Amino acid sequence: MSNLRYVIGNILKNNIALFIALILAMLTEALMAISSVVTIVPFVDIILNSQSDSPNQITKFFNNILNYFGLTGNYLTFGLLFFFTNLFKALISIKVLEIILKIKFQIIKSFRMSLLDASFSSQWKFFNGLGKGKLMNSLNEELNKISDLFSELATTASYSIQILAYLVLPFLFDFKITILVLILTLGLLLPFIFLNRILLRLGKKNTEAGNFVIGLINESIQAAKIIISYSNKKRNLDKIKEATEEFNTTAIKQRILQSLSSNAFKPTAILILILIFGYVGDIQSNLTYLAAIFWSLYSALPLLAIILRSNLRLATYFPSFEQYNDLKIKAVKFKYNTGIKKIENIENKIHLKNLSFHYDNKVNILENLNLEIKKNKITSIVGKSGSGKSTISDLLLGLQSPQEGEIFFDNDKINNIDIEFLRKKISFVPQDPILFYDTIRNNLMWAQNNTSEDDIIKSLKLANAYDFIMTLPKKLDSIVGERGSELSGGERQRIVLARAFLRKPFLLILDEATSGLDKISENIIRDTLKELSKSTTILVIAHKSKIIEASDYIYVINNKKIIEEGNFENLKNKDKSFFNTLNY
């Protein structure tokens, strides 16, 4: 029930106007439902008693209205009245559906954006701790189920109002028959109530299976090159096929149990009506009102079947919401702490003081670390793979938080700094060059939207990327493909470097950013960095790179700590230097 209140509360908060329109439309629909029952009475009355001078009270009422407008109550008039009443009700029902759909798709948009915003506002540990395909599945399939949950609730509310409307007149016409029908119908509902538990269990299983399938597909697409290279297509496809079959089996069981309610309920409900009306006995003398009662109850019972089906479906949708809500809570829990001070640049240095860090396994990968990154200098951090070098860049960007120690930008602790604003002043280039499926120009301008053509060309030349781009048929307007698949690894890396230069940051972080470059390009980048360091603070993270030679100061990490430091020449010429074991 708390989940239901939370869902409705979130939906109401963002859709007040649509909700008011929906309620008004539902009430109008209920009014037309009553009208459709009322207008059948004079229509049946005129058929059965065309020559009678004593019509029933409802027929008299309509005759008086028609006479007021100069019309005569006859077969055609009452038939058209019955037709247009039902036609108008159908049009109102379509309007109700339209409003429900508008709210449904608004839910998908608002919930998706809310989860994405929370995810991108969290520390990196949020993404590291996700299960296979969980976030992707929640943002797509499970989110659709959450919006379906609202559709079912809205439909249930609409049909419940209509049922109440349909039952008003039968109670007035014949109280006993209506009560008898309701008692038998409620008895009919009891077996279906037990389906809720089964469907809830199937719903959770279906959500988990969906997570796994989406995760496998996404993982296989990301690893397409290695799968093809190893000729392991069949192995991956078989794995996806097996997971999909398990998902399909659960989904089929779900749908069959859901449809069982409506398909079994409706014919049984019709049988109840037939038996009760047969039991009444003297049908002929009450035929006009009995026709209205039959029409009313016949219209209400299918709606009751749909409500039952919706109730059973709700049990399958709640696991989707629970997964979404768990992700949202986790993202908020890991939200990075941010201060209010806006840092445009540093005056002297960035200082990591007595810093220790570990992941969830509780084993420190950095321990009591102390280092300085001085303004407008090239500082390098080197060490073997897995020594914690890349973690330092994560800490500087606020993607992770140290368990002990502090990070200072001059005299300001990172927790007191506006981290969003700080990141806009930093350029980060990871080892894996990430490009978006777009043009080269748009990939560059993604980092700095308001920039000139001259600045774009300058940044490309600095990254040794201009010449090869000019040989492409569409030059800067060439599409790079999925994750830059239309380019070589070295070409991608040079474009990513150009993107970083284009931003003109006060701090440039290069994390193994030149590992895919040829020697000529690497030498050009080294000279570029030396020139940029006159106005930019540069941090180079590498285990082996020609860029290190341009460093003003180098820290060597091993076994969680800095074991050597100094400039390139001093470390290179030092006897028994660990630095030299890294093949510099």
Residue 355 phi/psi, 5-degree rounding, is: -90, 130
Tokens representing residue 185 in the block: 């119908």
CATH code of the domain covering residue 22: 1.20.1560.10
Quick one: 379 and 266 in the same domain? Answer: no
Residue 542 DSSP SS3 = strand
- Is the confidence at residue 65, as pLDDT, over 60? yes
Residue 309 pLDDT exceeds 80: no
Q: What percent of the chain has pLDDT over 90?
A: 9
Say if residue 98's pLDDT is above 70.
yes
375: pLDDT strictly greater than 90: yes
Across the range 163-175, mean pLDDT stands at: 75
| Domain termination residue (choose one: 309, 333, 357) | 333
Q: Residue 473 domain-assigned?
A: yes
Question: Please, which residues bridge with residue 427 across strands?
Answer: 508
Q: Which of 277, 307, 333 is the last residue of a domain?
A: 333
What is the mean pLDDT of the segment spanning 98-109?
80
Asked, for residue 238, whether it belongs to a domain, the answer is no
At residue 390 the predicted structure's pLDDT band, cuts being 50, 70 and 90, is: confident
Give 3-state DSSP helix, strand, coil % of the chain, rounded to 5. Answer: 65, 10, 20
pLDDT confidence of 148, banded at 50, 70, 90?
confident
More reliable by pLDDT, 429 or 484: 429
Residues 176 and 57 in one domain: yes
Which among 333, 359, 378 is the end of a domain?
Answer: 333
For position 192, what pLDDT does the model report? 62
Task: Judge if 177 and 265 occupy the same domain.
Answer: yes
Q: What is the mean pLDDT of residues 232-237?
A: 77
Note whether 264 and 394 are same-domain residues.
no
Range list of β-strands (E), 209-250: none
- Regarding whether 454 and 316 lie in a shared domain, the answer is no
Q: What does the pLDDT read at residue 228? A: 66
CATH of the domain at 484: 3.40.50.300
Q: What is the structure's pLDDT at 233? A: 74
Q: What is the extent of the structural domain holding 163?
A: 2-202+258-333
Region 452-481 average pLDDT: 89
Domain annotation covers residue 247: no
197 band by pLDDT with thresholds 50, 70 and 90: low
Highest mean pLDDT among 175-179, 186-190, 233-237: 233-237
Judging by DSSP bridges, how do beta strands 426-429 and 507-511 pair with one another? Answer: parallel
Q: Identify whether 459 is part of a domain.
A: yes
Contacts of residue 148, defined as CB under 8 A and 6 or more positions apart, other chains included, come to: 104, 313, 317
Calpha distance 213→215 (Å, rounded): 5
Rounded-to-integer distance, Cα 337 and Cα 121, Å: 10
Domain count, the chain: 2
- Counted residue by residue, the chain has a size of 584
**pLDDT given at position 353:** 92
User: Residue 290 above 70 pLDDT?
Assistant: no
Are 401 and 279 found together in one domain?
A: no
Most confident of 54-63, 232-241, 560-569: 560-569
Reduce the secondary structure of 135-157 to three states and give it as a string.
Answer: HHHHHCHHHHHHHHHHHHHHHHH
Instruction: Give the three-state DSSP class for 80.
Output: helix
pLDDT at residue 237 tops 70? yes
Residues 88 and 192 in one domain: yes
Is residue 435's pLDDT more than 70? yes
Is 90 exceeded by the pLDDT of residue 78?
no
Mapping DSSP to helix (H, G, I), strand (E, B) and coil, where does residue 304 land?
helix
**What is the reported pLDDT for 372?**
92
Q: What value does the mean pLDDT take over residues 262-274?
A: 64
Is residue 246 domain-resident? no
Greatest extent of the chain over all pairs of C-alpha atoms, in Å:
123
- For residues 366 and 440, state if they share a domain: yes
Question: Does some domain include residue 250?
Answer: no
pLDDT, one tens digit per residue, over 326-349 is 888 888 888 877 788 898 889 999
CB 582 within 8 A of CB 384: yes
- Judge if 129 and 172 occupy the same domain: yes
Of 63-67, 183-187, 425-429, the range with the highest mean pLDDT is 425-429
- Is 489 part of a structural domain of the chain? yes
CA distance 287 to 289: 6
More confident residue, 226 or 115: 115
240 within some domain:
no
* Confidence grade of residue 292 (pLDDT, cut at 50, 70, 90): confident
Strand order in the sheet with 404-409: 364-374, 349-358, 404-409, 412-413
Whether residues 502 and 532 share a domain: the answer is yes
Through-space distance between the first and last CA atoms of the chain, rounded to whole angstroms: 64
Q: Are residues 359 and 291 in the same domain?
A: no
Instruction: Please determine, for residue 3, whether its predicted confidence score (pLDDT) is greater than 70.
Output: no
Mean pLDDT, all residues of the chain: 79
Rg for the chain, CA atoms, rounded: 35
Q: Lowest-confidence range among 178-192, 275-289, 561-575?
A: 275-289
Mean pLDDT of 298-310: 70
Confidence grade of residue 200 (pLDDT, cut at 50, 70, 90): low
- Whether 266 and 156 map to the same domain: the answer is yes
At residue 269, the pLDDT reads: 63
Number of alpha carbons in the 13 Å side-chain half-sphere of residue 516: 19
Q: What is the pLDDT of residue 436?
A: 84
